[in-house]
Amino acid sequence: MLKRFRKRDETPRDPAPARRLAVATLLVEIARADFEVDSSERTAIRRMLAGAYGLDPKSARILVEEAERAVEKAVSLYEFTSRLNEELSPPEKVEIIEMLWRVAYADGRLDKYEEHLVRKAADLLYVPHRRFIRAKLKIESEPSPEEPASPDAPARR
């Protein structure tokens, strides 16, 4: 009987669902950082998760709902960033920080609590400060989803 249990534990598990949930949870946490989750932030989260992981809209929505439940139970970001730290390369970690910045800017403004939380996530993911700043500047220079791409468009602040 014990052999059966050991065999089940030895079967390799796909780390992708847990990784996706960790990323989704960080994105949801950023959206909640300023104490109001805007519809543009929710849309940005679903769109980024769908694009990053090849999810259909329903699967992206379900992942966000699961992440929202995980955020309610979480005591810190560490439980999510530790998994990502083990499994992601430095460039992939920077991509996560860029995703966090996109959510922070999705409603057209950056709140000090959002910025603090992105900084905290970057620290926990061991993203160097210069890469953190580069990611922020890159996302600031992107047009917001509502505004047309224009070379004359001012950067978001």
User: pLDDT of 49-95, one tens digit each?
Assistant: 999 999 999 999 999 999 999 988 888 888 889 989 988 999 999 99
- Mean pLDDT value across the chain: 83
Residue 24's nearest CA partner among 44, 9, 3 is 44
Cα–Cα distance list, 48 to 12, 85, 106, 148 (Å):
28, 20, 11, 19
Cβ 19 vs Cβ 83: under 8 Å: yes
Q: Could you give the residue ranges of the DSSP H alpha helices within 54-89?
A: 57-73, 78-87
Q: Has this prediction a pTM greater than 0.85?
A: no
HSE-CB at 153 with a 13 A cutoff on CA atoms is 15
Alpha-carbon span 83 to 9, nearest angstrom: 19
- Considering the four listed CATH numbers 1.20.1370.20, 3.10.420.10, 1.10.3720.10, 1.10.3680.10, the one that applies to the domain covering 17-141 is 1.10.3680.10
Nearest in space to 49 (alpha carbons), one of 70, 28, 29, 78:
28
Low-confidence ranges of the chain (pLDDT < 50): 1-2, 4-14, 147-157
Identify the H or E element spanning 96. Answer: helix 90-105
